[in-house]
Structure 1
């Protein structure tokens, strides 16, 4: 007789996902590194099957299972020092951070505050050790990685406020950590890109601290207004089971602490915003006309302004229009720091980054945009057995050149 335990569910999921890998998960034509894409899709499918099965059986919540998977290869301690890099954990008041200081770094050093991704729900600084370590070594700059509290237990504004608090701590305690306050930047990927953009936006409004030198936003999630942008429509099937529209809807709902099947369905179908809101000025902040012409897509498949649930919209619109929750909703971006925006061609979030870049340009901000050809969401994250994607090293080199220019 089978026992309904997590290992049992895991075994079934692995067997099923392994079969799907052998029979090949469909990958959209044009995606490079199909081995890595299929590996990520298989891993995502295992997590989805196990988390869903465990929750249905009452064994564990889906979020706890997802976190269990992502911590399998983590040891919750900084990597050992090398001849090139010294890594140490600190606590900024009550916030855990990890500081990566290259041995060739200046004292005080130009510094990048890094905020990791994971849909505000999973992952940690441990999962990013390989990435941030290489960024620090190749650039020669100090990196400070923030361990912010995760949703849904800590919904907005807690992660944002924690990252903001950590950034301010860097400025006010710079001497303690060997930071050059005149040369501080912020960076983040995916949900971390959201938090980095939000913190950069808030810091641009403060008058008593030095200005950020730049923000590096890597395939950032910047709006929960429309799940029918051209990239959501065209890339939803780019890598099945990995990051699709319904997954992003779930992550946004976690950040709001309203993750129910009916709410996820409302977000995915764009029924979470009212007809009135779809006709408001906020709709212009996610207009496909902000994109390069080749990405305009079939406008008939984009936001239908003739439907929307007024009840749901009234519940959430105050938050989803908050620029610190969704930076693309900011009415004025003229004061934000210069930006290097990286997007992935086959990512549902591609248009979030491209729209934000264009709106910053229109506001007079100095912006560099790089849309990585053939890449999928997460191509900058590797480690724990995940091989680097084809364009990762090139993107890192671009960052290093950009940062050196900005930190002059």
Structure 2
């Protein structure tokens, strides 16, 4: 099944769609909510054979399309052509990240277009947005790696993929338990295959990639429990994989970073298991109390994670739906006394001033809505929002590595957790990608594209591992 097939199916389900096709100059809404004129290229994309753009202009536009790298799905050819993105305001300390010589916001149009296609498919009853999103993001199984043994197993009924270097080792290796990102909704072992292979090869470590259950079919705490159970199983059977029990690390990106932080906190108090050597949190999402922190304001329309989608994913994980998303975005879901309690940990005051010079404004407090709080009150549980853990837990945590990106709504979650860890005497290595955006690590060697910032970020993870 292809995206073209899905779009054709949509046109069959909506007979009068042709009458609704846009013309050049018609207004459309971009990801940041602004109305902008519809370009002839967008008309060509949305209209198919019934395009209202003149044939010569369509041909000229087609000739300007960049060729997709060999082996890359065709959708990638146009993913970088739309530029309807809220650009960083003046005063930014960094320039936008670059993809093959072009700013990263070139990705925004293609990402928004895929999101819109998912909404159309859901409205027409063909499939849900989430099903379509999983189809688009699905990875491919790679061939044999000459340097790694790779096998699919189950750890306490949780599917995992184990990567072991083939080269001989003088002693026991370090073990890395990896939790993939994807908003608790997307992602798979195949999606992160290249990332896990790279980490295993370059750091000469055993890597265990965990396929936890996904929302909304499996709500919180399913993903957390799967990651915890897989980690405990690995630690109890560690001798089978030639891993040093004193050198086990949990690692994850985005939602996987959230899960790694939660697992690390849970294991901090366990006396029947070896202590974790470290935790690696790559642009983690760590709280759902405040979706108006400076990074949320600055990067609300920056791909690959928009502000609204961050709240959408958190609600899908918690409740299996996105009800009350607007109230959550506005902050009406947290009681005033609880907001005051957690302000010492979740506050713009704890973020360095240099991160608040770009497009930040103070916001008026919103009225608390008790009915909404009743549906989302588990947002205050540390296993879901690790930033809210008590100091007694935080000070027991292992050495930590935190990677943040300037152009990421979750940047401040990482900065706030970094401060909490340091305040509790935990050693922290922090790596900040001034030209990075959310999800950049997961796009390592994606269809032949080159993200220099993503490669630097991945290498910083490897270098940290080698230093342990």
TM-score normalised over the length of structure 1: 0.89
Is the counterpart of residue 223 in structure 1 residue 311 in structure 2? no
CA distance in 2, matches of 1:300, 1:328: 22
Which residue number in structure 1 is paired with residue 318 of structure 2? Answer: 256
Which residue number in structure 2 is paired with residue 393 of structure 1? Answer: 455
Shift of 1:91: 1.1
Is the counterpart of residue 15 in structure 1 residue 82 in structure 2? no
Per the alignment, in what secondary structure is the counterpart of residue 182 of structure 1?
strand
**CA distances 1:247-303 after superposition (whole Å, capped 9, x unpaired):** 00100011012523x511112222222333322x11221111221121245898456
Shift of 1:163: 0.2
Q: 1:324 aligns with which of 376, 383, 397?
A: 383
Q: 1:384 to 1:237 in 2, by over 3 A?
A: closer
**CA distances 1:35-87 after superposition (whole Å, capped 9, x unpaired):** 4734542342233112111111112111111111112x424xxx333332221
CA distance in 2, matches of 1:349, 1:133: 26
Is the counterpart of residue 174 in structure 1 residue 235 in structure 2? no
Which residue number in structure 2 is paired with residue 314 of structure 1? Answer: 374
User: Is the 1:109–1:180 Cα contact (8 Å) retained in structure 2?
Assistant: yes
CA distance in 1, matches of 2:285, 2:421: 16
CA distance in 1, matches of 2:451, 2:9: 31
Is the counterpart of residue 277 in structure 1 residue 348 in structure 2? no
Which residue number in structure 1 is paired with residue 277 of structure 2? Answer: 213
Q: 1:67 aligns with which of 116, 134, 146?
A: 134
Which residue number in structure 2 is paired with residue 344 of structure 1? Answer: 405
Is the counterpart of residue 33 in structure 1 residue 95 in structure 2? no
CA distance in 2, matches of 1:113, 1:185: 6
CA distance in 1, matches of 2:79, 2:159: 39
Per the alignment, in what secondary structure is the counterpart of residue 395 of structure 2?
coil
Q: 1:124 to 1:23 in 2, by over 3 A?
A: closer
CA distance in 2, matches of 1:23, 1:180: 49
Aligned 1:1-400 pairs, distance under 5 A: 6-8=6-8, 15-16=45-46, 22=81, 24-26=83-85, 28-29=87-88, 30-33=95-98, 35=102, 37-38=104-105, 40-71=107-138, 73-75=139-141, 79-104=142-167, 106=169, 108-239=172-303, 242-260=304-322, 262-279=323-340, 281-297=341-357, 301-302=361-362, 304-317=364-377, 319-332=378-391, 333-382=394-443, 383-385=445-447, 387-400=449-462
Greater CA radius of gyration, 1 or 2? 2
CA distance in 2, matches of 1:21, 1:10: 24
Which residue number in structure 1 is paired with residue 68 of structure 2? Answer: none
CA distance in 1, matches of 2:326, 2:117: 21
Q: 1:9 to 1:245 in 2, by over 3 A?
A: farther
Q: 1:351 to 1:94 in 2, by over 3 A?
A: same
Per the alignment, in what secondary structure is the counterpart of residue 164 of structure 2?
strand
Q: 1:367 to 1:303 in 2, by over 3 A?
A: farther
Q: CA RMSD in A?
A: 2.5
Range 342-351 or range 60-69, more displaced: 60-69
CA distance in 1, matches of 2:302, 2:359: 19
Q: 1:8 to 1:308 in 2, by over 3 A?
A: farther
CA distance in 1, matches of 2:248, 2:379: 29
Per the alignment, in what secondary structure is the counterpart of residue 370 of structure 1?
strand
> How many pairs does the alignment contain?
394
